[in-house]
C-alpha cells in the first residue's frame, strides 16, 4: 500500500511549495542511485520521493490528491488517459523531476547546475535523457455537461472537438518532400551548451537551440498548405468514458487527444471538465439523492404507500404511521454510484405535510371538528410548533 505523500517527504499538509521542494531536494540527494549503487532500498526511496514531489509540487495534482487521495492521481478511468491524472513513470520521468530541481542536463529548460550536480551524478553527461522528437502540442480544455442520471451510472459520450490536427498534405512533417534536415547549429541535439569552470566546480548552462527551437531538425522545402508547421485547424470526434460519481468541476485527462504537435511532435492532452446540469426535482448530497415529497395530514398519521421518482424510475415507498414532517426516509442503493468503488449512495425522501389553500365549506367543517380532538393537537410539552389544523386556520380563518 502506498504511503501518504506528505509522510514520504516529511512535511505537513499545509506545507508551502518551498518547504516541499526543500524536503524533496534533501531526500533526492540522500537516495540518488549514483550515490547508492546497487542499493535497491535506496532506489525505491528515490522513486517514492520523486512520485510524492511530482504530485505535491503541482497545484492541480495536489488539490486532487488532497480530495481523493491516491485514487485522485492514479489514472482510474477516462479514455486513453485516466481520470484525474496519472502516476510517475520510469526513471526518465524521475530524473526529469530531479533535474528540474537541481538543473542537470534535461531537455531545453535552461539554467544548468551552478553547483556541478551534473558532473557529480552523471559523470559529465552519462545518462542524459534523449531529445524528444518535435515539440509537443498544447493541451485542450473542454466542458462536458452531464445530467444526474448520467453521473449516477457513468456514461460514455462521443463528442466533436475542434483542434489542431496533422496537415494532410505533408502528413504532419511541415515539408513538401517529408524530409527534415539536421540542425547545423546544435547538430540535432536541440540544445546549445556553454560550460565554464569556477572555484565551486563546473557550471553548465543549457538552452534551447535558437535555430531549430529545440527540435534538433529544420524543415526542408516548407509545405505551403500548413506554412511548414505540419498542423492545421480541424475537427474530430472523441469518445469519453465518464465514471460514476464524478462531481461538478472534476476533470478527466485523455492523454494524446489534445492539439497535434508541430512537425510530428506528440499531441497534447484533452482535459474534459465536468459540468453537472441542475436537476428539476432532485438535489445531490454527496452520493445521496434528496427528493422532497408532500403528503396529506391523514397519510402522515395513518401511513401510506406511494410511488416516488428516483434516478432509476419510480419505486414504491412505505410511509409508516405517525411519520413526522421533515422526516427522511431512505431507499438504499438508489443514489449516485461511488467513484472508483463498488456500490452507490441512497435515495433520501424528505416528507413534508401538504397544507391545502383551497377548501370547500364542508372540508373546513370537518377540520374544525377534528381539531376539537385532544389527540390531534400538540400538548404544552410539545413546544410551539403549530398543528396542521392551526396552519389551516391561519390560511382560511
Binding residues for Zn(2+): 167, 170, 183, 186, 209, 212, 223, 226
Q: How far apart are alpha carbons 5 and 14 in whole angstroms?
A: 13
Name the nearest CA neighbour of 92 among 65, 129, 62. Answer: 129
C-alpha distances in Å from residue 181, one per residue of 136, 175, 186, 261: 19, 10, 12, 18
Q: Nine-digit cell at 27?
A: 531526500
HSE value, Cβ hemisphere, 13 Å, CA-based, for 393: 13
Name the nearest CA neighbour of 324 among 380, 385, 282. Answer: 385
C-alpha distances in Å from residue 245, one per residue of 50, 146, 175, 248: 30, 11, 47, 10
Q: Nine-digit cell at 211?
A: 535555430
Element (H, E) at 56: helix 40-56
**What angle in degrees, to the nearest 10, is found between the helix axes of 40-56 and 17-31?**
160
Q: Nine-digit cell at 165?
A: 490536427
How are the residues of the chain apportioned to helix, strand and coil, as percentages rounded to the nearest 5?
Answer: 30, 25, 45
Q: How far apart are alpha carbons 352 and 344 in whole angstroms?
A: 25
Q: Nine-digit cell at 15?
A: 506545507
Q: Nine-digit cell at 146?
A: 452531464
Phi and psi (nearest 5°) for 338?
A: -70, 140
Q: How far apart are alpha carbons 110 and 132 in whole angstroms?
A: 16
Handedness of CA 201, 202, 203, 204 (dihedral sign): negative
Q: Nine-digit cell at 156?
A: 460514455
Q: Nine-digit cell at 287?
A: 452520493
Name the nearest CA neighbour of 86 among 273, 276, 269. Answer: 269
Amino acid at each position: 500500500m502506498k504511503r501518504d505523500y506528505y509522510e514520504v517527504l516529511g512535511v505537513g499538509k499545509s506545507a508551502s511549495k518551498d518547504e516541499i521542494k526543500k524536503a524533496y531536494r534533501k531526500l533526492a540527494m540522500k537516495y540518488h542511485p549514483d550515490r547508492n549503487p546497487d542499493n535497491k532500498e535506496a532506489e525505491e526511496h528515490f522513486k517514492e520521493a520523486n512520485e510524492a514531489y511530482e504530485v505535491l509540487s503541482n497545484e492541480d495534482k495536489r488539490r486532487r490528491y488532497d480530495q481523493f487521495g491516491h485514487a485522485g492521481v492514479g489514472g482510474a478511468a477516462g479514455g486513453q488517459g485516466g481520470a484525474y491524472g496519472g502516476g510517475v513513470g520510469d526513471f526518465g520521468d524521475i530524473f526529469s523531476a530531479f533535474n528540474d530541481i537541481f538543473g542537470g542536463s534535461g531537455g531545453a529548460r535552461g539554467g544548468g547546475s551552478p553547483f556541478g550536480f551534473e558532473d557529480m551524478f552523471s559523470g559529465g553527461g552519462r545518462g542524459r535523457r534523449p531529445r524528444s522528437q518535435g515539440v509537443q502540442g498544447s493541451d485542450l480544455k473542454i466542458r462536458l455537461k452531464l445530467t444526474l442520471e448520467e453521473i449516477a451510472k457513468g456514461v460514455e459520450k462521443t463528442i466533436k472537438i475542434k483542434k489542431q490536427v496533422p496537415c494532410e498534405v505533408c502528413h504532419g512533417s511541415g515539408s513538401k518532400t517529408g524530409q527534415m534536415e539536421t540542425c547545423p547549429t546544435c547538430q540535432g541535439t536541440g540544445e546549445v551548451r556553454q560550460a565554464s569552470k569556477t572555484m565551486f566546480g563546473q557550471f553548465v548552462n543549457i538552452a534551447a537551440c535558437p535555430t531549430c527551437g529545440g527540435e534538433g531538425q529544420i524543415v526542408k522545402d516548407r509545405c505551403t498548405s500548413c506554412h511548414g508547421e505540419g498542423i492545421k485547424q480541424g475537427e474530430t470526434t472523441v469518445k469519453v468514458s465518464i465514471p460514476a460519481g464524478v462531481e461538478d468541476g472534476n476533470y478527466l485527462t485523455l492523454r494524446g487527444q489534445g492539439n497535434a504537435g508541430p512537425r510530428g511532435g506528440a499531441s497534447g492532452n484533452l482535459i474534459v471538465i465536468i459540468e453537472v446540469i441542475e436537476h428539476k426535482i432532485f438535489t445531490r448530497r454527496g452520493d445521496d439523492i434528496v427528493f422532497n415529497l408532500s403528503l396529506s395530514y391523514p397519510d402522515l398519521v395513518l401511513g401510506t404507500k406511494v410511488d416516488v421518482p428516483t434516478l432509476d424510475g419510480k419505486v414504491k415507498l412505505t410511509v409508516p404511521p405517525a411519520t413526522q414532517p421533515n422526516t427522511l426516509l431512505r431507499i438504499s442503493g438508489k443514489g449516485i454510484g461511488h467513484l472508483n468503488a463498488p456500490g452507490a449512495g441512497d435515495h433520501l425522501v424528505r416528507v413534508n405535510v401538504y397544507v391545502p389553500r383551497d377548501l370547500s365549506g364542508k372540508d373546513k367543517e370537518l377540520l374544525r371538528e377534528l381539531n376539537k380532538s385532544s389527540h390531534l393537537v400538540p400538548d404544552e410539552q410539545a413546544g410551539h410548533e403549530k398543528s396542521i389544523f392551526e396552519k389551516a386556520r391561519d390560511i382560511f380563518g
